[in-house]
A and B are shown apart, each in its own frame.
Chain A
Amino acid sequence: MSLLEVRSVSKHFRGLRAVNNASFRIAEGEINALIGPNGAGKTTIFNMIAGVYAPDAGEILFAGRPIHGLRPDQVCAAGIGRTFQIVKPFAGLSVLDNVMVGALLRSRNAADARRLARGIVDRLGLGPKRELPASSLTLPDRKRLEVARALATRPKLLLLDEVMAGLRPTECDQMVALFRELNRADGTTILLIEHVMRAVMALARHIGVLHHGEVIARGTPEQVVRDPAVLECYLGEETEV
């Protein structure tokens, strides 16, 4: 059964067609990726799923129920956690308090939320820094904090918007291992937008390729990287020299 189903969704910003008639589905328990060149409409699709924008046309179903038109907080409460490509830490709060804000969603009180947040902070390797203000973190740590905060809301579906960008290869591999573990142990379904192909190839069961707001290819990683349409959109058409 598909956990998330995006059906013929479109979004225009004035003259710009950011997303045009895009459809895809994600089966429960899978890790899928959405790739494509800059400006292809990936983040716009994320924002529509997360309730930041309502689609101009089409529908989005989560666990069989329509969620397009819900507010971001309602989407989160329904079980979708998201990170932001341009990180948005609560700069004045400590690392632990940042994660606690997320953990409060499904906790009865602050003490429960703190316990949950501690576990997640440790899992993301931020344990030694948990009392530091979020403003003092380096970019890779801020990316981890984004993930930690989203995880604290205990999502069924996790939307990751370029969380590997700026990480060193070893850090990237740690992150990949973490998402595998999350997916295996907690059954969390994951949809990632990613430019770092090392991570995409290691994680994704299925990949959708977006170009100019349209889904131009989908399939397993092996299929997608050999698809001529995909090569063309990344590398340009072959020309006679």
Chain B
Amino acid sequence: MNRRSIALAVLGAILIALPFMVGNYALSVATLILYFAYTGQAWNVMMGFAGQLSLGHALYVGVGAYAAGALFFYYGIGPWAGLWLAIALCVALGLVIGFLAFRFGISGVYFALLTIAFAEFTRIGFDHFGWTGGPGGMFLRVAQRDTWDLANFRGPPLMYYYAMLALTAGAFALCAWLLRSRAGYYWQAIREDEEAARALGINAFRWKLLAVAISAAMTAVAGVFFAFYYNNLFPEQIFHISRSIEIILGPVIGGVGTLFGPLLGAAVLTLLSDGITEALAAFGLDIPGVKQVFYGLVLLGVVMFLPHGIWPAIARRLRL
């Protein structure tokens, strides 16, 4: 076993044992970290692997959440069926965006703008869509939470933690496999130099669409989790551009295009945010905006001193 697999096994063991070591609050923080690690991993497939910058991933979270949420709300259909509708809708949306962009040569910043536009007009659309509650939101019935009702994905915080852990582990394994497959090599070639990639027989259009489809499908699953974890959905919150930015911060800080970057970035950012809140409370500082200033300063520091993210620097140091 190499050092990397050992590190991974240790990390996995700690995460599985975590609920028995900490309380409910810490468990909810851990669930949040895993949620961002998972969505970051999904975004990373598009940007980190294939080099296509999406600034509108909240679109897939929102559509996934609303699709599964509405099925449950109106027809009592559980998330295991809703999941497939969520994935199908998000993949279709992703393919439409990808087709428009890649077919007409929209790339780089302009592609990113297109992804923002789709997320924004979906948000506005849902604001005017009475069936899902419009701006007033949609509320899923919250059942008692002591027992595990896996069929309807209802249960104690522990259940959500393990569900998110399984998703994150699955996404990690999927991405590790993708990177070593034909798709991974082709995506990286396209990311590094699309013209050279095409000259080597790569149909860039098709492979970029595949990256978008996989990324959208993975993010849709996060949306379903979101719906059944938070139980209330508002267009203003779920589709907002700040949600999209939140998704990409983890992998950007952790290391774009790396497997561990999204995990590490999500942990660092969530703990940092919580840590600043607690530190400010301990010092009795209660000035609005102070937390954001500290948070911003740390992000600035990371981007300035570790432009490739935290993970590549750590990996070098630990020879992982």
A interface with B by C-beta (< 8 Å): 50, 52, 71-73, 76-77, 82, 84, 88-93, 97, 100-102, 104-105, 109-110, 113, 149-150, 152-153
Instruction: State in angstroms the CA–CA spacing of A101 and B257 once bound together.
Output: 17
Give the interface residue-count category, chain B.
20 to 34
Q: Separation in Å of the A192 CB from the closest CB of chain B?
A: 16
Contact B196 A90 (CB under 8 A): yes
Chain B contact residues, majority secondary structure: helix
Q: Does B202 interact with chain A (Cβ within 8 Å)? A: yes
Contacts from B to A (Cβ < 8 Å): 180-182, 185-186, 188-189, 191-193, 195-204, 257
Contact A73 B204 (CB under 8 A): yes
A110/B193 in contact, CB under 8 A: no
With a cutoff of 8 Å between Cβ atoms, the chain B residues found around residue A110 in the complex are 180-182, 185
- Chain A CB within 10 Å, residue with most, of B188, B199, B202, B204: B199
> Would you give the shortest CB distance from A62 to chain B, in whole angstroms?
14
Q: How far is the CA of A110 from the CA of B204 in the complex (A)?
A: 18
The answer for the CA separation of A73 and B196 in the assembled complex, in Å, is 10
Contacting residues, chain B, for A104 (C-beta < 8 A):
182, 185-186
Question: How many contacts A-B (CB < 8 Å)?
Answer: 74
Inter-chain CA distance A112–B220, complex, in Å, is: 35
Question: How far apart sit A109 and B192, CA to CA, in the bound complex (Å)?
Answer: 21
Q: B201 and A77: CB pair below 8 A?
A: yes
**Closest residue on chain A to residue B204 by CB atoms:** A73
| Whole-angstrom CA separation of A52 from B197 in the bound complex | 12
A50 to B186, CA, bound (A): 19
Most A Cβ at <10 Å: residue of B185, B196, B198, B203: B196
- A90 → B minimal CB distance (Å): 4
CB-nearest residue of chain B to A152: B200
- Neighbouring B residues of A82 by C-beta, 8 Å: 199
B185 nearest in chain A by CB position: A101
Report the nearest A residue to B257, measured CB to CB.
A92
B199 touching A50, Cβ below 8 Å: yes
B189 lies within 8 A of A101 (CB):
yes
* Cβ contact within 8 Å between A105 and B201: yes
Given the complex of chains A and B, what is the CA–CA distance between A98 and B200 in angstroms? Answer: 10
- Complex CA gap A130/B168 in Å reads 33
Within the complex, the shortest CB–CB distance from A75 to chain B, in Å, comes to: 8
Task: Point out the residues of chain A lying under 8 angstroms from B257, CB to CB.
Answer: 92
**25 contacting pairs across A/B (C-beta < 8 A):** A50-B199, A71-B203, A73-B198, A73-B201, A76-B201, A77-B201, A82-B199, A84-B199, A88-B195, A89-B192, A90-B188, A90-B192, A91-B193, A93-B188, A100-B185, A101-B185, A101-B188, A101-B202, A102-B201, A105-B200, A105-B201, A110-B180, A149-B196, A150-B200, A152-B200
Task: Report B-chain residues with C-beta under 8 Å of the C-beta of A72.
Answer: 195, 198-199
Kindly list chain B residues whose C-beta atoms are within 8 Å of the C-beta of A150.
Answer: 199-200
Contact B195–A73 (Cβ < 8 Å): no
Query: What's the Cα separation between A70 and B200 when bound, in Å?
Result: 14
